[in-house]
């Protein structure tokens, strides 16, 4: 849905903005997997009750995508489509620097509407932005950790490194590696293969470099980092979760501060949606209301942690 045709100069400009430029964190399948996963995770935080029948099922899914991705949609009545919403672009400023017009460009509808007269804006955040920056930031981190975990798991399977100076020696080592990776418990080979001599240097064609896998095994640390980053994302969007690395003793103020931190941004989103709906409901003849799905759980978790801390 976001394909953008770019010319050669634009592609070079986009590629050159990465630092370091050799690392591309945002253009691989692992990143797209985590971007999709975190988007669905974020969708679990909020809901809008009493949606019109026209906005249910797949239309509701499109609504959440627009809200989270672009931050706002225009809501209006239309003779052909009834109660409707559409992504739009905003134009103009009033006395308080708020947008005046919403431009809708759809294959079925191309129109410019005046805000507060022909339409109202349903927005997620006070600054008319979505939360795709949050999703993208954490998806990039999780993607890198995920790749490191996979590489570390593969590297931990082989505890010896061989260097071959002849083609025959390289072929021999490849066959040995294939057998090791296939899981064979015992591998039998001709011992003479290790005594191959390079005819030019008159030295052994195979060099054995032993390494201690335990010293380089970092999967455990990476898995811990993975849980920490995922916890940080949950905290930022308002999903109740226990800290992965929790202090043995935590005073009451610290416990309450962490819960406030976990819900602060998502409560702003709920309040902003409801303030928008106060204008939209009279126009559309609806009674919609935004609700935080985990508000009760967060409050209960806060009470439980406070009781535990006070009893210590």
Same domain, 192 and 231: no
Which residues have C-beta within 8 Å of that of residue 130, sequence separation ≥ 6? 67, 68, 69, 70, 71, 124
Is residue 167 situated within a structural domain? yes
Q: What is the mean pLDDT of residues 263-270?
A: 88
241 located within any domain: yes
Residues 229 and 243 in one domain: yes
pLDDT at residue 175 in the model: 82
Q: Which of 20-29, 72-81, 276-285 has the lowest mean pLDDT?
A: 20-29
In 3D space, the residue among 86, 92, 57, 52 whose CA is nearest the CA of residue 72 turns out to be: 86
Q: Report if residue 141 sits inside a domain.
A: yes
Span of 137-141, 208-212, 260-264 with lowest mean pLDDT: 208-212
Q: Is the pLDDT of residue 119 over 80?
A: yes
228 and 309 share one domain = yes
Determine contact, residues 233/138, Cβ cutoff 8 Å. Answer: yes
Give the model's pLDDT for residue 89: 94
* Residue 208: how many other CB atoms lie within 10 Å: 10
| 248 has a pLDDT exceeding 60 | no
Q: Residue 95 domain-assigned?
A: no
Q: Is the pTM of this model over 0.75?
A: no
Q: Which residues pair with 12 in a beta bridge?
A: none
Residues 277 and 177 in one domain: no
Rg (CA), the chain: 29
Do 182 and 261 have their domain in common? no
The sign of the CA dihedral 282, 284, 285, 288 is: negative
For the stretch 139-198, pLDDT in tens is 999 998 888 888 777 767 655 566 677 777 778 778 877 776 666 767 777 766 665 655
Domain around 187: 160-210
| pLDDT, position 179 | 76
**Is 256 within the bounds of a domain?**
yes
What is the per-residue pLDDT for 1?
A: 38
Edge to edge, the sheet with strand 89-91 lists 89-91, 101-106, 109-114
Q: Does residue 14 belong to any structural domain of this protein?
A: no
Do residue 67 and residue 173 come from a single domain? no
Q: At a CB cut-off of 8 Å and minimum separation 6, what does 237 contact?
A: 41, 42, 45, 131, 134, 265, 266
Residues 183 and 297 in one domain: no
Place of tokens 């052994």: 204
Same domain, 204 and 228: no
293 in the same domain as 265: yes
The candidate with the shortest Cα–Cα distance to 215, out of 166, 142, 156, 136, is 156
Q: pLDDT, tens digit, for every residue of 276-312? A: 999 999 999 999 999 999 877 766 665 655 555 555 5
State CA 51 to chain mean position distance.
27
Q: CA 188 to CA 176: how far, in whole Å?
A: 9
Domain-ending residue, one of 210, 241, 276: 210
Domain check: are 171 and 146 in the same one?
no
Do 63 and 170 have their domain in common?
Answer: no
Residue 4 within a domain: no
Q: Which three-class secondary structure state does DSSP give residue 74?
A: strand
């Amino acid at each position: 849905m976001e394909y953008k045709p770019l010319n050669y100069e634009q592609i070079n400009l986009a590629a050159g903005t990465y630092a370091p430029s050799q690392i591309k964190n945002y253009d691989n399948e692992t990143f797209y997997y985590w971007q999709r996963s975190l988007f669905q995770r974020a969708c679990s935080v909020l809901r809008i009750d009493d949606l019109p029948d026209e906005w249910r099922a797949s239309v509701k899914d499109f609504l959440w995508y627009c809200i989270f991705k672009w931050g706002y949609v225009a809501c209006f009545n239309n003779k052909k489509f009834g109660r409707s919403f559409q992504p739009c672009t905003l134009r103009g400023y009033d006395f308080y620097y708020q947008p005046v017009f919403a431009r809708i460009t759809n294959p079925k509808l191309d129109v410019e509407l005046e805000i507060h007269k022909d339409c109202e804006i349903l927005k997620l955040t006070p600054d008319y932005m979505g939360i795709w920056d949050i999703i993208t930031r954490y998806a990039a981190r999780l993607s890198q950790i995920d790749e490191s975990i996979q590489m570390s798991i593969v590297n931990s399977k082989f505890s010896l490194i061989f260097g071959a100076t002849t083609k025959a020696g390289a072929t021999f080592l490849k066959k040995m590696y294939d057998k090791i990776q296939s899981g064979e418990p015992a591998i039998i080979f001709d011992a003479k293969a290790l005594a191959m001599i390079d005819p030019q240097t008159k030295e052994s064609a195979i060099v054995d470099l032993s390494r201690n896998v335990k010293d380089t095994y970092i999967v455990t640390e990476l898995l811990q980092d993975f849980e920490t980053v995922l916890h940080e994302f949950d905290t930022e969007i308002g999903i109740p979760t226990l800290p992965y690395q929790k202090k043995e003793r935590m005073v009451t103020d610290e416990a309450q501060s962490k819960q406030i931190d976990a819900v602060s941004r998502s409560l702003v989103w709920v309040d902003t949606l409801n303030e928008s709906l106060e204008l939209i409901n009279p126009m559309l003849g609806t009674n919609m209301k935004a609700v935080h799905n985990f508000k009760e759980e967060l409050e209960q978790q806060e009470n439980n942690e406070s009781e535990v801390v006070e009893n210590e």
